Chain A
Amino acid sequence: MPDGIAAHADPHRPASGFGGAGHAPASATGFGAAGHHPALQHQFQTLQQQQEAATLGMWIFLVTEVMFFGGLLMAYLLYRVWYPEAWSEGSLELSITLGGFNTVVLIASSLTMALGVRSAQTGAQRATVRWLLVTMALGLTFLVVKFFEYKDKWELNHIPGPNFVFEGPHASQVEIFLSLYFALTGLHALHMVIGFCLLAVIAWMAHRRRFTPEWYTPVEMSGLYWHFVDIVWIFLFPLLYLVDRAHQAG
């Protein structure tokens, strides 16, 4: 209708600044129709709003992940209350050296991930790729160490199941401990593998210079995921490796 066109041509509206001398109608946000950032999706008014929505969505996903691990941790807690002796026997079977080494590796990978996100924020594209690759290398180190821990358990027949062998007074209760050990660390390792693949994609995108200081949401979101996986391990390490070491030592 002519009325609508007249409203857009209202001289009181600020000119958009994009698309020439005001012949392109200005949107309510002041962006011209063709003037917004290419990464801005049409349902959002600003990039900031878009990133806020993405962050919120990612956090809601992480809450469901917390509950995903929460069920297993609940089982862990209850069986630990019931079978404290089996828990200390089972925990002694785990190598504190390898577990501690992996803890250091994973926390270091969180540091490099945070620095990678920071590089993306400041527009240092080559540094972003470099930090992401370092993070992936540390993640891979973790998984390799984990593989050798599992291999050791395999050779000792400590995998719960029909061939499970364990010398000790609480063998079948230790089997429950080791079941939870494999469920928790296995689920964690699966998250590591997924995170590794995510970072590979993000590193490739960063290499192709897809990110700018205005839009680096995928880097930030993968960072949140990676830090979450780190937090899970921060809890798993004392829960699985450090049960009752003091009483066993002396």
Chain B
Amino acid sequence: MSGHVSPKSTYYAIFGALMLLTAITVTIAFINLGTLNFPVALSIAILKATLVILFFMHVKYSSQMTKLICGSAFFFLLILFVLTLSDYLSRGWFVAPGGTAGAGTQVTVGPPAPVPEPAEPATGPETTPEP
């Protein structure tokens, strides 16, 4: 009963691949890909995690049940991200009667916006000389 014993060369190869992917992700971070930088960095991270899970954590040689549980982690994570973002990012797309387009689209942080100066006619007589 000793389970699957991977050869040492497998572990060294996976380590080499992880190092290479780390170098690639740092290099690509300094290349301007526009909006693609984030998805590319995330894809490389997912690839690295997959290598660790399959080989270092032996999921490749585990039972179907273990594979299912492992996969469920990412399924639940996806539900968390997709459902939450589909709410927040779609706010303001449609305006209910009597509502405002900006309601709830963003949490305001930082110093309060400066109070706009009162319009010219409303200022006192000292700033607007009488004709």
- Cβ-closest chain A residue relative to B7: A118
Q: Give A121 to B6 CA distance when docked, in angstroms.
A: 10
A104 at the interface (CB under 8 A from B): yes
| Residue A66 is within 8 A (CB to CB) of chain B in the complex | yes
Bound: A230/B57 CA distance, A: 11
- CB contacts (< 8 Å) of B26 on chain A: these are 96, 100, 242
Distance to closest chain B CB from A145 (angstroms): 15
Q: Which residue of B lies closest to A122 (CB)?
A: B5
Chain B residues with a Cβ closer than 8 Å to the other chain, count: 55
Q: Main SS of the interface on chain B?
A: helix
Q: Which of B60-68, B94-102, B113-121, B122-130 lines the interface with chain A? A: B60-68
B15, A223: Cβ atoms closer than 8 Å: no
From the candidates A114, A173, A238, A239, name the one contacting B11 in the complex (CB within 8 A).
Answer: A114
Q: Interface 1/0s, chain B 35-54, versus A by CB < 8 A? A: 00100011011001100110
Any chain B CB within 8 A of the CB of A244?
yes
Given known pairs A66-B77, A121-B3, the reply for A242 and B29 (CB within 8 Å) is: yes
Q: With a CB–CB cut-off of 8 A, which chain A residues contact B42? A: 238
Chain B residues contacting A82 (CB-CB under 8 Å) are 106-107
Chain A residues near B15 (CB-CB < 8 A)? 107-108, 110-111
Say yes or no: A111 contacts B12, CB within 8 Å.
Answer: yes
The answer to whether the Cβ of A5 comes within 8 Å of any Cβ in the partner chain is no
Contact between B45 and A234 (Cβ–Cβ < 8 Å)? yes
A1 at the interface (CB under 8 A from B): no
Complex: how many Å from CA A41 to CA B32?
58
User: What A residues does B12 contact at CB under 8 A?
Assistant: 111
Contact check, A74 vs B81: say whether CB atoms are below 8 A apart: yes
B103 at the interface (CB under 8 A from A): no
**Does A77 belong to the interface (CB within 8 Å)?**
yes
- Stretch with Cβ within 8 A of B (4 or more), from A43-51, A182-190, A195-203: A43-51
Task: Flag if A246 contacts B31 (CB, 8 Å).
Answer: yes
Residues of B with C-beta under 8 A to A96: 26
Determine if A214 and B1 form an interchain contact, defined as CB atoms under 8 angstroms apart: yes
Q: Number of residues in A with C-beta < 8 Å to the partner?
A: 62
Mark each residue of chain A from 82 to 107: 1 if its CB lies under 8 Å from any CB of chain B, else 0: 10000000000000100010011001
In Å, the complex CA distance between A223 and B65 comes to: 19
Partner of B41, one of A74, A104, A113, A238: A238
B19 pairs with A77, CB closer than 8 A? no
B77 pairs with A67, CB closer than 8 A: yes
Contact A48 B76 (CB under 8 A): no
Complex-state Cα separation, A170 to B74, whole angstroms = 33
Q: Which residues of A contact B52 (CB under 8 A)?
A: 110, 227, 230-231, 234
CB within 8 Å of B: which residues of A? 46-48, 51-52, 55-56, 59-60, 62-63, 66-67, 70-71, 73-74, 77-78, 81-82, 96, 100, 103-104, 107-108, 110-111, 113-115, 118, 121-122, 170-173, 176, 213-214, 216, 220, 223-224, 227-228, 230-231, 234-235, 237-239, 242, 244-247, 249-250
CB-CB nearest 10 A-B residue pairs: A246-B32, A242-B29, A172-B110, A238-B41, A63-B73, A66-B73, A111-B15, A245-B29, A48-B1, A59-B69
